[in-house]
């Protein structure tokens, strides 16, 4: 997965013994509630601002797991964000949910009304001019959000529940804290657990002082710790005797164990039942919103990332900017039959064919089998998946046949020198190849180009600009500025990237009071380093990306819908049509060995391999042909490797 999808475009989850002293700060705990909770009721809550058009996989997965282990317990998954989206209007909700800072600002102003003016100014700086947000205005947005949120909390049957679990991802921090504060006020005996990617780092004792309504934090994956907690609450006579549960942190245990991260996760994912999305779909049956959008079903085939390894010293070897896997240890996958069975049963149960694979990265070995079997379902699925640029053409082909229509590829850069710094394990020529293949297969590729990465230099920029000239026939990449993620390799080893100091992003200081800002480590960090230099050197790339977008839109909106650089093979000859933005279409005809070399380089090939394949021709002759093709932008060359750029009008 690309962490930039989470931060820049919008947001995703996840969620130990109680500190009685701390609980007393709120209201004396009624221990009788732990006296054999025969009819234990648990509520799992996802607050704004996840995408409203899909249920929370975190809630769905934990609910299903809890019910499988504790059929006698009542578990309800409250997608409060859906109700809020319906109330304030989907377009407005969507705009807010697109940017973390906008999303966090809304509930920050409700949490800390004395900071309203400051937060309003902050919000206005972030909102695009002419947007619905700007037209509506911060006061209206916050008052509408408060009205519906307070009504939901007032109507909630909180006293009937004994345990509430909040799943908190990147843009859900302030909203979750607001809900928690209000709910705890209404029902002080309700045990509040909080978890998710936002809380997968170390929890400090200050945390429990600052957020006194939170009773416990689930570190890492939620199923096992939460299930053990529920098991204890069913039978326990005294909550103060809760035995230590790995993965659960309380104000008490944090004093003993310190802020050390302790996980408890499933050895394999075979024991996970399919997620339960009933609570999301139930209200849609009767509401007018069922006609407003088609819900997408989130499905996971794996957890973690196989590209990322964590050393015994805790250092990550994955992509330098990535902090997506803080809540997992290692990489685990479901088997193909399990995944396909889930997709089959979930689409049938909820009568929707849109499926989003939420894996950070799809499994290397099981993927082929999964997509083959999905194609065998003969359902008209419409799927989205995040993939690495090393995904091969046959794999892409299987994905397309199974119904994948949109992908996000971990492209991140179009300069191999920068890809090395990013530790992507890929090259620019590989990126161009997969971009071309997606275009050929009709897979809409929504990928990012990271600008301002600390330590990038003029050479990286020059390489990027050159690659963009060759990439213009393909769907443009979206520019995203580098942001420093807590726990990412760059954050762990800042000096290596020329970073002088690391601290909380100052935007948090606008949203939170100074005591919280000073003593909490937030997921989005900031740094002192070469930012000014980075902004300057990347400006030409920003301009170039805008132009690329303009050209691509122009070329794909007119009557000539075929790719701007396409090829048709006539066996004895090959016709390449090159339609450029400013000049006439040029037709190229390749015959004989020229055609064969061009077709051979549909995979990027080294000069040695081309020479070995066509021994009848001297290296000089081959090189002069390749050079000519590169000059015409029909092929791309990188370090003596060559790639044909034309998009076959027929699938490979």
Question: What is the binding site for ligand SF4 (CB under 6 A)?
Answer: 1-2, 305, 307-308, 318-319, 322, 324-325, 360-361, 388, 410
- Smallest gap, in angstroms, from Cβ of residue 544 to ligand SF4? 24
Q: What are the CA-CA distances from residue 387 to residues 246, 276, 306, 371, 520 (Å)?
A: 32, 26, 12, 13, 33
**In this structure, which long-range contacts are made by residues 310-316, counting pairs with CB atoms below 8 Å and at least 24 apart in sequence?**
314/492, 315/489, 315/492, 315/493, 316/487, 316/488, 316/489, 316/492
Residue 481, CB half-sphere, CA atoms under 13 Å: how many? Answer: 10
CB atoms within 10 A of CB 188: 16
Tokens of 490: 């760059």
558 burial via Cβ count (<10 Å: 0-12, 13-18, 19+): exposed
Please name the residue that has the structure tokens 């809890």. 66
- Smallest gap, in angstroms, from Cβ of residue 323 to ligand SF4? 8
- Smallest gap, in angstroms, from Cβ of residue 308 to ligand SF4? 4
- 1 or 102: whose CB is closer to ligand SF4? 1
- Provide the total of helices (H) and of strands (E) in the chain, helices listed first: 27, 25
Q: Which is it for the CA torsion 145, 150, 151, 155, positive or negative?
A: positive
Tokens of 219: 């570190």
- 122 or 331: whose CB is closer to ligand SF4? 331
- 424 or 452: whose CB is closer to ligand SF4? 424
- 164 or 415: whose CB is closer to ligand SF4? 415
Say which residues have a Cβ less than 8 Å from residue 225's Cβ, sequence separation at least 6. 16, 218, 219, 245, 246, 247, 248, 264
Is the backbone of residue 421 left (phi > 0), alpha (psi -120 to 50) or beta? alpha
- 308 or 327: whose CB is closer to ligand SF4? 308
Residue by residue, DSSP assigns 446-515 as --EEEE--TT--HHHHHHHHHHHHHHTTSPPPEEEE--EETTSHHHHSGGGGT--EEEE-HHHHHHS-HH
- 484 or 634: whose CB is closer to ligand SF4? 484
Tokens of 81: 């964000």
Q: Which is it for the CA torsion 378, 382, 388, 390, positive or negative?
A: positive
- 422 or 435: whose CB is closer to ligand SF4? 422
478 burial via Cβ count (<10 Å: 0-12, 13-18, 19+): middle
Residue 302 β-bridge partners: 333
- Smallest gap, in angstroms, from Cβ of residue 360 to ligand SF4? 4
- Smallest gap, in angstroms, from Cβ of residue 311 to ligand SF4? 14
- Smallest gap, in angstroms, from Cβ of residue 261 to ligand SF4? 18
Tokens of 491: 């954050």
- Smallest gap, in angstroms, from Cβ of residue 57 to ligand SF4? 16
**Beta carbons of 18 and 215 less than 8 angstroms apart:** yes
- 391 or 534: whose CB is closer to ligand SF4? 391
| Maximum CA extent, the chain | 89
Instruction: Name the nearest CA neighbour of 409 among 391, 436, 383, 428.
Output: 391
- 18 or 358: whose CB is closer to ligand SF4? 358
- 361 or 601: whose CB is closer to ligand SF4? 361
Q: How many residues appear in the chain?
A: 652
- 86 or 422: whose CB is closer to ligand SF4? 422
- Smallest gap, in angstroms, from Cβ of residue 422 to ligand SF4? 9
- Smallest gap, in angstroms, from Cβ of residue 394 to ligand SF4? 20
- 2 or 433: whose CB is closer to ligand SF4? 2
Parallel, antiparallel, or unpaired: how do β-strands 163-167 and 41-45 relate? parallel
- Smallest gap, in angstroms, from Cβ of residue 56 to ligand SF4? 20
Residue 160 backbone dihedrals phi, psi, to 5 degrees: -80, -10
- Smallest gap, in angstroms, from Cβ of residue 124 to ligand SF4? 32
Distance CA 166, CA 184 (A): 13
Q: Taking the mean position of all CA atoms in its chain, how far away is CA 365?
A: 22
Distance CA 231, CA 229 (A): 5
Distance CA 346, CA 340 (A): 10
Q: Which is it for the CA torsion 5, 10, 13, 18, positive or negative?
A: positive
**Beta carbons of 73 and 138 less than 8 angstroms apart:** no
- 424 or 604: whose CB is closer to ligand SF4? 424
- Smallest gap, in angstroms, from Cβ of residue 306 to ligand SF4? 8
- Smallest gap, in angstroms, from Cβ of residue 49 to ligand SF4? 22
**Beta carbons of 50 and 81 less than 8 angstroms apart:** yes
- 10 or 63: whose CB is closer to ligand SF4? 10
- 228 or 448: whose CB is closer to ligand SF4? 448
- Smallest gap, in angstroms, from Cβ of residue 293 to ligand SF4? 28
- 388 or 475: whose CB is closer to ligand SF4? 388
- Smallest gap, in angstroms, from Cβ of residue 386 to ligand SF4? 7
- Smallest gap, in angstroms, from Cβ of residue 302 to ligand SF4? 10
CB atoms within 10 A of CB 409: 25
- 330 or 509: whose CB is closer to ligand SF4? 330
- Smallest gap, in angstroms, from Cβ of residue 623 to ligand SF4? 35
**Beta carbons of 448 and 319 less than 8 angstroms apart:** no
């Amino acid at each position: 997965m690309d962490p930039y999808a989470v931060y820049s475009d919008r947001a995703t989850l996840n969620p130990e013994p109680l500190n009685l002293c701390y609980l007393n700060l709120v209201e004396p705990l009624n221990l009788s509630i732990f006296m054999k909770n025969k009819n234990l009721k648990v509520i799992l809550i996802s607050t704004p601002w996840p995408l409203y058009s899909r249920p929370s996989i975190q809630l769905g997965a934990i609910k299903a797991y809890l019910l499988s282990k504790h059929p006698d317990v009542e578990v309800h998954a409250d997608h409060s964000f859906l109700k809020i989206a319906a109330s304030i209007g989907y377009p407005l909700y969507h705009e807010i949910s697109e940017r973390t800072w906008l999303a966090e600002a809304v509930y920050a102003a409700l949490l800390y009304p004395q900071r309203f003016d400051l937060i309003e100014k902050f919000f206005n700086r972030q909102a695009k001019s002419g947007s619905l947000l700007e037209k509506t205005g911060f006061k209206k947005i916050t008052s509408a959000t408060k009205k519906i949120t307070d009504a939901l909390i007032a109507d909630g049957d909180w006293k009937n529940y004994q345990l509430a679990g909040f799943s908190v991802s990147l843009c859900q921090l302030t909203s979750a804290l607001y809900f928690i504060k209000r709910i705890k006020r209404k029902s002080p005996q309700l045990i509040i657990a909080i978890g998710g990617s936002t809380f997968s780092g170390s929890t400090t004792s200050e945390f429990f002082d600052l957020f006194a309504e939170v009773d416990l934090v689930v570190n890492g994956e939620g199923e096992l710790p939460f299930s053990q907690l529920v098991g204890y609450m069913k039978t326990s006579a005294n909550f103060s005797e809760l035995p230590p549960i790995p993965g659960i942190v309380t104000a008490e245990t944090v004093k003993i164990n310190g802020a050390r991260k302790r996980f408890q996760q499933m050895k394999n994912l075979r024991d996970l039942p399919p997620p339960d999305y009933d609570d999301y779909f139930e209200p849609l049956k009767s509401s007018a919103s069922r006609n407003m959008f088609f819900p997408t079903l989130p499905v996971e085939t794996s957890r973690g990332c196989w590209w990322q390894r964590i050393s015994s010293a805790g250092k990550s070897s994955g992509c330098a900017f990535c902090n997506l896997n803080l809540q997992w240890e290692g990489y685990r996958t479901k088997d193909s039959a399990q995944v396909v069975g889930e997709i089959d049963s979930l689409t049938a149960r909820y009568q929707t064919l849109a499926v989003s694979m939420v894996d950070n990265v799809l499994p290397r070995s099981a993927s082929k089998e999964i997509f083959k079997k999905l194609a065998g379902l003969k359902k008209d699925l419409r799927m989205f998946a995040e993939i690495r640029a090393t995904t091969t053409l046959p794999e892409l082909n299987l994905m397309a046949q199974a119904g994948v229509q949109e992908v996000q590829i971990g492209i991140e850069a179009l300069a191999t020198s920068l890809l090395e710094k990013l530790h992507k394990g890929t090259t620019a020529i590989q990126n161009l190849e997969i971009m071309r293949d997606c275009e050929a297969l009709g897979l809409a590729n929504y990928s990012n180009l990271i600008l301002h990465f600390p330590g990038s230099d003029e050479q990286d920029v020059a390489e990027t600009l050159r690659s963009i000239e060759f990439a213009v026939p393909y769907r443009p990449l979206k520019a995203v500025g580098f942001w420093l993620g807590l726990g990412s390799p760059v954050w762990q080893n800042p000096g290596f990237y020329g970073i002088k100091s690391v601290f909380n992003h100052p935007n948090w200081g606008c949203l939170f009071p100074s005591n919280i800002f000073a003593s909490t480590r937030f997921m989005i960090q900031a740094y002192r380093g070469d930012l000014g230099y980075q902004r300057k050197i990347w400006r030409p790339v920003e301009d170039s990306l805008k132009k690329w977008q303009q050209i691509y839109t122009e070329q794909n909106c007119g009557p000539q819908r075929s790719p701007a650089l396409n090829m048709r093979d006539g066996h004895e000859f090959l016709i390449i049509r090159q339609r450029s933005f400013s000049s006439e279409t040029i037709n190229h005809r390749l015959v004989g060995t020229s055609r064969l070399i061009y077709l051979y380089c549909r995979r990027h090939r080294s000069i040695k391999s081309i020479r070995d394949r066509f021994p009848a021709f001297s290296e000089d002759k081959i090189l002069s042909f390749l050079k000519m093709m590169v000059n015409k932008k029909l092929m791309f060359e990188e370090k003596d490797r060559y790639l044909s750029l034309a998009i076959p009008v027929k699938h490979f």
